[in-house]
Amino acid sequence: MSTCIPVVENILSANDRLAAENRAIFDKAGVFAINLMASPGAGKTSLVERTVEGLAGRLRLGVIEGDLASSLDADRAAAAGAAAVQINTGGECHLDAVMLHAALPQLDLKSLDLLIVENVGNLVCPTSFKLGVHCNILIASTPEGDDKPYKYPGSYRGIDALVINKIDLLPYVDFDMQNFRRGVEMLNPGVMTFPLSCRTGEGLDAWLDWLAAQVKNRA
């Protein structure tokens, strides 16, 4: 089984090369690209919907949805008003730069300000595969529990911002915000954090304003 190691390394470096190409494409088109990662059901697609609705009129948005199967998420993003493309990974547990590269021609990137890439629901594998985006964002979710930074440290280390979704459920779940934040701080000191509820809308404005500012700063 040791023969697998160089093969995996080769795949990763091929992936990194294509991630750099993706970045060059984004920069040439003048589009700011973000990668949303989370466990299944943490609220990635709900955040996409709220972000598309909330930035309508301020920014032109495109969405690329990564899933093992179905076009449910792209349908939701399109219904919210974005140009949306679905990638079905056919069982692969993450998006990689190759899949993203293949999907890019389906969008008119020059007509967009912000491209949201929604990764496969998985708190482990997506962090190992660069996509070429400008910003990696993790969504945690209160019903998942406050121990996740301790148990999935890799997914908290490499991110540029953290969304804590489903804060409307805090009265009904056992989630110790202090313990959670202590774990995050150990792994990623000072990371920008947005507690919010996609369901009630609480906290969304801070997220939308920050994201819009990121896009403006890179333009």
Residues of this chain that interact with a copy of itself (CB under 8 A) are 1, 3-4, 7-8, 10-11, 14, 39-41, 67-70, 72-73, 91, 93, 120-125, 141, 143-145, 147-148, 150-154, 166, 168-169, 172-174, 199
Nearest residue (CB) to a copy of itself, 73 versus 113: 73
Among 139, 134, 117, 133, smallest CA distance to 62 is for: 117
Based on CB atoms, which residue is closest to a copy of itself, 37 or 211? 37
Best CA proximity match to 151, nearest among 180, 118, 176: 180
CB of 83 to a copy of itself, least distance (A): 21
Q: CB of 111: closest distance to a copy of itself in angstroms?
A: 29
Cα separation, 203 vs 115, in Å, equals 22
Min dist CB 54 to a copy of itself, Å, is 19
The smaller minimum CB distance to a copy of itself, of residues 126 and 203, is found at 126
Q: What is the DSSP string of the chain?
A: -TTHHHHHHHHHHHHHHHHHHHHHHHHHHT-EEEEEEESTTSSHHHHHHHHHHHTTTT--EEEEEEESS-SHHHHHHHHHT-EEEEEE-TT-SS--HHHHHHHGGGS-GGG-SEEEEEPPS-SSGGGGS----SEEEEEEEGGG-TTHHHH-HHHHHT-SEEEEE-GGGGGGS---HHHHHHHHHHHSTT-EEEE--TTT-TTHHHHHHHHHHHHHHH-
Minimum distance from residue 127 beta carbon to a copy of itself (Å) = 10
Of 3 and 217, nearer to a copy of itself (C-beta) is 3
Q: Are the beta carbons of 169 and 142 closer than 8 angstroms?
A: yes
Shorter beta-carbon distance to a copy of itself: residue 9 or 108:
9
- Nearest approach, Cβ of residue 67 and a copy of itself (Å): 5
Shortest Å distance, C-beta 39 to a copy of itself: 4
Q: Which is nearer to a copy of itself, 59 or 74 (CB)?
A: 74
